[in-house]
Amino acid sequence: MDALDEIQESVVVKNGNSNTHSSLFSDLRPLGPEGPFSLETQFIADSDSCKVNLIIGAYRNNQGQAWQPPSLVEAKKRIHVESCLHEYLPLHGSAEFLESSKLLVLGPEITNQAYDRIASIQTISGTGANSLIAKFLDNHTHPANIWLPDPTWVNHADIWKENAPGVDLRWYPYYDESSRSLSFSAMIQTLQRDTQENDAILLHACAHNPTGLDPTKEQWEEIALVCKEKKLFVIFDSAYQGFASGDLDHDAWAIRHFFTHPGLEFAICQSFSKNMSLYGERLGALHIVVSRKSSSPPTASVHGHLAEIQRACVSMAPLFGSRVANEIFKSEDLHLMWQADLLLMSNRIKTMRKAVYDELVRLQTPGNWDHVVHQTGMFSYTGLTEEQVGRLRKEHHVYMLPSGRASICGLTCANFKYTAQAIHSVITDTQKRQV
């Protein structure tokens, strides 16, 4: 028996398995082909010329193509990539980027007022910021529960399970299926009744994914009061600032409102994937706003511990995206150009919402489709059932998530009529079958 055989034999004995070809990983549960990424693979393999991709949350132009906004193209020119060094960033990331990203989300007034109470770190985009805050809270403040909206971005639950095994996942009602609207009273009731002091709660800052339903200003005020009264730690997931409405300040309103409550401490998970079209560059930030009630704010300790966790996971965030963002932030003309890009992208989405809605109404598709135009952001929570979504894919080559979430960015002037007709056929056929 040679050395390799001996090792294999000992693994077999340890696992009590007589198969000499068994692997350490043989017991891993096979994962099903769910999720947006596997649907995307199916879409690519689909050879139908009419196929429509409403799956992935990434902007597409009216030709259905990935698009580089002019501000991004110009910023890259100004960087002179050929002569850039590729050194490590500091552990906290680019200081210049952190200053600008903080200013962007909190505005100049709050940033000034709270200059010694905000701990910021550059992260691997929004996902990295969500993961880091989960780990940080699990390690240091030990909330019993994290409260997530039901439904929420598919990754939130997994992020908390992976990064905060000591924190229980709980859900607060968010969506009322019958009225296709925000289930606000049930949300407030649950938070008032079931949360405990020190629990964490995740709120989408704007353009809630997947429902496209955001609270009104009055509702945000009420949510802030409950969080304050119940002493919850708030985590804002801000993945769509400026992309949702086309207005950077408008989309940050809720976060800035929470700052008006001096005792509320909160975190902001900021992503630049959508609003700067830097999806693959993984640019994001985590900001933690420390209570204004404490006389000696522990900002430096928070800052230090964030860096310690990030160092163990990924060392530091990548460099290139922050270079591009810094270029846009520092030049007035590029900043203006970027704001125009945001308006263009959000307006195209609104136009497509209206176009598909008008077509559904024109076709007299059964049901009420007002929600398609009332929802905001990248997605429409169409209200289609999983079965209807499956038929849309198989019979009409229109792809969306099984939950009925459609990425409106996938609609173009060339395909919205086809898409509406496909939805119309599936809905009317479902009705006929039910009769």
Ligand X SMILES: Cc1ncc(COP(=O)(O)O)c(C=O)c1O
Q: How far apart are CA 412 and CA 70, in angstroms?
A: 20
Residue nearer to ligand X on the CB measure, 234 or 239: 239
| Residue 286 in tokens | 């985590």
Tell how strand 118-124 and strand 379-381 pair up. Answer: unpaired
Sign of CA dihedral 300, 306, 307, 312: positive
List the one residue from 209, 275, 322, 365 that touches ligand X (CB under 6 A): 209
Side-chain-facing half-sphere of 194: CA atoms under 13 Å = 16
Please check whether residue 404 is in contact with residue 383, taking contact to mean a CB–CB distance below 8 angstroms: yes
Q: How far apart are CA 121 and CA 286, in angstroms?
A: 5
Residue nearer to ligand X on the CB measure, 125 or 245: 125
Residue nearer to ligand X on the CB measure, 124 or 423: 124
Q: Show contacts with ligand X in window 92-111 (CB under 6 A).
A: none
**Minimum distance between the CB of residue 11 and ligand X, rounded to whole angstroms?**
37
**Minimum distance between the CB of residue 238 and ligand X, rounded to whole angstroms?**
8
Q: How far apart are CA 289 and CA 259, in angstroms?
A: 8
Closest CA to 391 of 403, 379, 381, 399: 399
Q: Is 149 in the site for ligand X (CB under 6 A)?
A: no
Residue nearer to ligand X on the CB measure, 53 or 388: 53
Sign of CA dihedral 124, 130, 131, 137: positive
**Minimum distance between the CB of residue 80 and ligand X, rounded to whole angstroms?**
27
Question: How much of the chain is helix, strand and coil, in % rounded to 5?
Answer: 50, 15, 40
Residue nearer to ligand X on the CB measure, 156 or 393: 156
Residue nearer to ligand X on the CB measure, 297 or 410: 410
- Single out the segment in contact with ligand X by CB under 6 A; choices: 64-72, 123-131, 306-314, 355-363: 123-131
Please check whether residue 270 is in contact with residue 283, taking contact to mean a CB–CB distance below 8 angstroms: no
**Minimum distance between the CB of residue 413 and ligand X, rounded to whole angstroms?**
25
The 10 Å CB-count burial string (b at 16+, else e) for 393-409 is beebbbbbbbbbbbbbb
**Minimum distance between the CB of residue 41 and ligand X, rounded to whole angstroms?**
18
User: Per-residue contact track with ligand X, 160 to 199, x per CB under 6 A?
Assistant: ----------------------------------------
List the one residue from 94, 127, 183, 412 that touches ligand X (CB under 6 A): 127
List the one residue from 100, 122, 195, 273 that touches ligand X (CB under 6 A): 273
Q: Is 239 in the site for ligand X (CB under 6 A)?
A: yes
Length of the chain: 435
Q: Is 153 in the site for ligand X (CB under 6 A)?
A: yes
Q: Is 131 in the site for ligand X (CB under 6 A)?
A: no
In sequence order, the 6+-apart residues with CB closer than 8 A to the CB of 405 are 209, 210, 379, 380, 381, 382
- Single out the segment in contact with ligand X by CB under 6 A; choices: 124-132, 183-191, 225-233, 352-360: 124-132
Residue nearer to ligand X on the CB measure, 38 or 294: 38
List the one residue from 271, 275, 299, 375 that touches ligand X (CB under 6 A): 271
Tell how strand 283-289 and strand 266-271 pair up. Answer: antiparallel
Size of interface with ligand X, in residues (CB under 6 A): 13
Q: Show contacts with ligand X in window 32-71 (CB under 6 A).
A: 57
List the one residue from 74, 237, 251, 359 that touches ligand X (CB under 6 A): 237
**Minimum distance between the CB of residue 274 and ligand X, rounded to whole angstroms?**
7
List the one residue from 36, 69, 93, 126 that touches ligand X (CB under 6 A): 126
Q: How far is CA 424 from CA 2, 365, 382, in A?
A: 67, 5, 12
Residue nearer to ligand X on the CB measure, 207 or 264: 207
Q: Is 242 in the site for ligand X (CB under 6 A)?
A: no
| Residue 365 in tokens | 């598709």
N-term to C-term CA, the chain? 71
**Minimum distance between the CB of residue 273 and ligand X, rounded to whole angstroms?**
3
Cross-strand pairs, 203: 236
**Minimum distance between the CB of residue 325 and ligand X, rounded to whole angstroms?**
13
**Minimum distance between the CB of residue 381 and ligand X, rounded to whole angstroms?**
13
| Residue 41 in tokens | 């693979």
| Ordered DSSP codes for 351-400 | HHHHHHHHHHHHTT-SS--HHHHHS-SSEEE----HHHHHHHHHHH-EE-
Give the binding site for ligand X (CB under 6 A): 57, 125-127, 153, 204, 209, 237, 239, 271, 273, 279, 284
